[in-house]
Structure formats: C-alpha cells, structure tokens
C-alpha cells in the first residue's frame, strides 16, 4: 500500500475536545462525553482498549442520521479516576446517569468485544432505557470460556512484559487476515502507536481483570427483549459464523449479520459497511416500535 | 555526527513534509522531539514509515520498539544502524 493510500484509509483522530464539559453521573464520578448529531440516540460502549474519540471515524455516517454519544468509562480515558475499578453494575449505573444528564430516555447501545457484556447487563437491568443492541464481535454467550481464557492470556502478557508486547500478542488475534496483509508492518506499527496513546498499563490491567468477571450464564440472553444485532466478521477467530447465528438465536429478537473478511473488531475493516448494517437494523427496529 | 546520519535526517524531513504537511510545520519539529507530542498523528506516522521503506530500501520489522519511532533522530538512527 502506498503512503498516500495509508494516509487516506488509516485515520485515527484520538484528540480530546478540550471544550467538552464532563458529565456527572453519580457521587464523585464525572465522565468525558461527546454527543454528535440529532435524533434517536446511539451510545457507544468502550471495550477498555478504546477511548471516546476513537469512535468518531466509525460513527461519522451514523451521526448524519442519529445522535451518537461516545464516552469514557469511569477510571478510563478522561473520565474520573477512582481508587478501585468500578464493578459492571457501577459502569451500568454510570451509563444510566449519563443518559439522564443528557436527557435521553432510551438509546441503542453499540458495543464491541468486552463491552458487549456491559450492553447485556444494561439491557437486563434497565430495559426501558435500551431501544436495541448492536454487539460487534460479542464475547457473551456459549463461547465465554474461550473468551476469558484469551483475556487471561492477554493479561499475563501485559503483566509479564509491557503494552507493546501485549499489542504484538493481540494484533493477529483481533485484526483480520486481510487487514494484516494489506497494511503490512507499517500499519501494525501505526495502530500500535494509537493503542499506546489510548491506554495505560493500569487501565488495561483493570479492564482485562473486570472482563473476567460477571455472570457467564447463556440464559441471561434469552431474557433480553430489545432487538439485537450480532455484527460478526467471518474472520473473527473468537466466534465463527455458525456460532454467531446460534448466538443470535438465543435472543428473543436477535439476528446475526456476517461481515466478509472482517476480524474481531469488524468496523475496523469496513467502517462504511458496518454503519450501513447498523443504520438498516435501527430503521427496521424503529418500524416495529 | 556522520554525514550519513545528517543526510538520512534531511531525507526523513523531506518525507515528513510529503506525507504530513508543509515545510513550515516540519521545520518547527526538532530532531529529538517526540513526533506524537509535536502533533504528528499516527496516520502520518504510518505514511512516513511506508515512505521510508521506499526511500531507504528496507522493510520494517514488527518487533521494532516504540522508542525507534519516537523522533526524527531515532528514526534516522535506525536507518543508519541497518546500513551498518
């Protein structure tokens, strides 16, 4: 790939908006939050490897039709740092506090990897606040043992080495074959720079540790009434297409969309195609409201 | 400081101008300063790395440490070291 092509395709503006006020969600907790566009809300959920600004490039088309809200979880990014990593229940309560502060009655949740567990919990605990779920590269359901084994391996790598070595470990597991071949080593090194800019060892340690926790029961998914889209890359080594369809079938109102040649974070491979999937899903879900 | 190192740094500056912006910005970036802290985004860094492969005739290894990518100085040092 030429330098110009990389420049065009490989863009991550990770800068924070300095004029954005923090939003108070509970006693002692304020969250960094960006809200773009108008209309039905879509709220993105970080998976401990992203920060709020990371979502801009993957929600820009959606923001032309909906109100996209991205925020940093408590103890991550530019949000309040507490002495102890919040539990999943506290992260869920923070999200509801954020919606209250932004005067959003209900929202679609757009989650990726580890944050699909948070999306599930919010949909179960606060069903009236959730219009629907988009779970990209989900780590809930029958495959959770494998997911947690992988996360523990990442955690051991982080604690035995450092973030660059962790990234080397993770990269071929979460990035698609096509992207690895297309971007080559310069793409790997550039994405590593973004990764280094977004996280500290402490944040990653806390996030990966929390990701090990939570109820692994598959039965929980059968109680979620909100329309649910599983967006899955067919090169996601954590969840194959057949298992993705089986997972979607557990939800009373679930479906699975396969993104060709995409990896565990499918919107990295095809930001436009991913947003078209989400747009179509929301439009159809809203027709049935 | 060898002539080679000086020449490599000059060439890297030219490449940075090509992939990121005008000479006025690049001229403010000192050789030893962190490119990220100077405001060079990762997208421009990737483009610079690709351009360096073409310009200097080598391929990046994926085990190169982040410190190598830190500044014009460290990038030039890597190229000079590869040339032995």
Return the residue in B42, B64, B69 with the most chain A beta carbons within 10 A, the one to mutate for interface testing.
B42
Closest chain A residue by Cα to residue B44: A7
Closest residue in chain A to residue B63, using alpha carbons only: A168
Are the Cβ atoms of B48 and A3 closer than 8 angstroms?
yes
pLDDT of residue A245: 97
Q: pLDDT band for position B3 (50/70/90)?
A: low
pLDDT value at A269 more than 60: yes
Query: Which of A3, A185, A194 lies nearest to residue B60, judging by beta carbons?
Result: A185
Query: Regarding the domain delimited by A13-143+215-287, which CATH topology (the fold level of the hierarchy) does it fall under?
Result: Rossmann fold (3.40.50)
pLDDT of residue A197: 84
* CA–CA distance, B20 with B15 (Å, rounded to integer): 8
Q: What is the pLDDT of residues A198-234, one digit of tens each?
A: 889 999 999 999 999 988 999 999 999 999 999 999 9
Confidence of residue A72 (pLDDT cuts 50, 70, 90): very high
The helix (run of H) or strand (run of E) holding residue A60 is none
A248-257, A275-284, B14-23: the lowest-pLDDT one: B14-23
- Spell out the domain ranges in chain A: 13-143+215-287
- Confirm if A230 and A257 have CB atoms less than 8 A apart: yes
Percentage of chain A modeled with pLDDT above 70: 96
pLDDT tens-place string over residues A157-190: 999 999 999 999 999 999 999 999 998 999 999 8
pLDDT at B1: 57
How many whole angstroms separate alpha carbon A162 and alpha carbon A167? 9
Supply the mean pLDDT for chain A.
Answer: 93
Backbone angles phi, psi at B31, to 5 degrees: -60, -35
Q: Give A31-70 pLDDT, tens digit per residue.
A: 999 999 999 999 999 998 889 999 998 999 999 999 999 9
pLDDT tens for residues B11-69? 999 999 988 876 777 888 899 998 888 888 777 888 899 999 999 999 999 999 999 99
pLDDT tens figures, A122-154? 999 999 999 999 999 999 998 888 889 999 999
- Identify each DSSP E strand in A120-180 by its residue range: 130-136
Domain range annotation of chain B: 3-82
Nearest CA distance, A243 vs chain B (angstrom): 32
* Chain-chain contact of A189 with B69 (C-beta, under 8 angstroms): yes
pLDDT value of residue A249? 98
Q: Is the Cβ pair B43, A7 closer than 8 Å?
A: yes
Chain A environment of B36 (Cβ under 8 Å)? 193, 197
Q: Would the pLDDT of A12 be above 80?
A: no
Q: What is the mean pLDDT of residues A256-274?
A: 96
**A interface residues, B as partner, C-beta within 8 Å:** 1-4, 6-7, 10-14, 164, 168, 183-194, 196-197
In whole angstroms, give the CA distance from residue A157 to residue A72.
Answer: 25
C-alpha distances out from residue A86 to A80, A89, A114, Å: 11, 8, 15
Distance separating alpha carbons of residues A276 and A188, to the nearest angstrom: 27
Q: Which fold has domain B3-82?
A: 1.10.1200
Assess whether pLDDT exceeds 80 at residue A243: yes
């Amino acid at each position: 790939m030429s330098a110009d092509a990389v420049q065009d395709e490989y863009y991550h503006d990770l800068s924070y908006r300095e004029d954005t006020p923090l939003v108070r969600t509970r006693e002692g907790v304020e969250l960094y939050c960006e809200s773009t566009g108008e209309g039905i809300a879509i709220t993105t959920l970080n998976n401990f490897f992203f920060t709020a600004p990371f979502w801009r490039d993957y929600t820009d088309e959606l923001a032309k039709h909906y109100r996209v809200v991205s925020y940093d979880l408590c103890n991550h990014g530019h949000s309040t740092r507490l002495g102890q990593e919040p539990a999943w229940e506290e992260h869920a309560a923070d999200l509801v506090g954020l919606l209250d502060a932004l005067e959003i009655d209900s929202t679609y949740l757009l989650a990726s990897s580890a944050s699909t567990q948070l999306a599930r919990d919010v949909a179960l605990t606060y069903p009236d606040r959730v219009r629907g779920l988009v779970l990209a590269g989900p780590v809930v359901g029958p495959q959770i043992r494998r997911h947690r084994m992988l996360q523990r391996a990442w955690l051991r790598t982080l604690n035995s080495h450092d973030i660059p070595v962790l990234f080397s470990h993770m990269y071929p597991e979460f990035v698609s074959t096509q992207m690895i071949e297309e971007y080559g080593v310069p793409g790997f090194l550039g994405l590593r720079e973004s990764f280094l800019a977004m996280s500290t060892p402490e944040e990653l340690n806390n996030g990966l540790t929390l990701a090990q926790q939570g109820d692994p029961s598959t039965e929980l998914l059968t109680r979620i009434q909100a329309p649910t889209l599983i967006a899955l890359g067919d090169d996601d080594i954590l969840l194959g297409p057949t298992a993705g369809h089986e997972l979607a079938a557990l939800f009373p109102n679930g479906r699975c969309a396969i993104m060709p040649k995409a990896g565990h974070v499918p919107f990295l491979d095809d930001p436009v195609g991913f947003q078209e999937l989400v747009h179509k899903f929301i439009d159809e879900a809203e027709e049935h409201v | 400081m060898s002539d080679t190192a000086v020449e490599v740094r000059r060439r890297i500056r030219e490449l940075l101008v090509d992939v990121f912006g005008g000479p006025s910005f690049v001229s403010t970036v000192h050789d030893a300063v962190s490119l990220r802290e100077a405001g060079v985004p990762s997208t421009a860094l990737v483009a610079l790395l690709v351009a360096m492969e073409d310009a200097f005739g080598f391929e990046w290894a994926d085990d190169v440490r982040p410190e190598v990518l830190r500044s014009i100085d460290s990038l030039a040092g890597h190229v000079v070291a590869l040339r032995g």
